[in-house]
């Protein structure tokens, strides 16, 4: 099962370096691979999340098609650009994608659309979600305690 989120904005960053600067400004321990130019992102993007090598798929999508596909969602206005993130059932990839999307959305005055939740998130809320997921990932699975 794959998961996806989308960053919607009216402007784009010009480079991986600019995106990395936005990630660093958020204080995230995430390092994007800089082996491909930003404009040619169309598939798996390797990242280093803390000490973990992971990654997610990253695509430049047509924002107008995305808005039509999710016509039941109020996106606020017709966004010009969409940067999409996809990953499988891997918590480290999920955390990395959320960190990357939150930082990108903040740098471009955009929003993050979580398709699973059907919610539009401010960059601040997406960053909070990323931080919460990172804490959960470090704690590992929480086991239920028996009572009685």
pTM over 0.85: yes
With cut-offs at 50, 70 and 90, classify the pLDDT of residue 115: very high
- 69 φ, ψ (degrees, to nearest 5): -60, -35
Examine the pLDDT at 146 and tell me if it is beyond 90.
Answer: no
Is residue 37 within 8 Å of 15, Cβ to Cβ?
A: yes
pLDDT, position 2: 84
pLDDT, position 50: 85
Examine the pLDDT at 122 and tell me if it is beyond 90.
Answer: yes
pLDDT, position 101: 98
Examine the pLDDT at 132 and tell me if it is beyond 50.
Answer: yes
**DSSP for residue 87:** E
């Amino acid at each position: 099962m794959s998961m996806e989120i989308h960053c919607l904005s009216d402007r784009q960053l010009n480079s991986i370096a600019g995106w990395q600067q936005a990630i660093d400004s958020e204080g995230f321990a995430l390092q994007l691979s800089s082996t491909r130019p930003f404009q040619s992102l169309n598939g798996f993007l390797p990242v280093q999340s803390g000490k973990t090598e992971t990654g997610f798929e990253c695509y430049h999508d047509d924002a107008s098609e995305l808005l039509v596909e999710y016509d039941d969602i109020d996106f606020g206005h017709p966004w010009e650009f969409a940067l999409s993130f996809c990953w499988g059932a891997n918590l480290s990839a999920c955390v990395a994608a959320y960190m990357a999307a939150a930082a990108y959305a903040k740098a471009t005055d955009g929003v993050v659309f979580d398709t699973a939740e059907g919610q539009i998130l401010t960059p601040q809320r997406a960053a909070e979600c990323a931080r919460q997921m990172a804490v959960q990932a470090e704690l590992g699975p929480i086991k239920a305690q028996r009572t009685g």
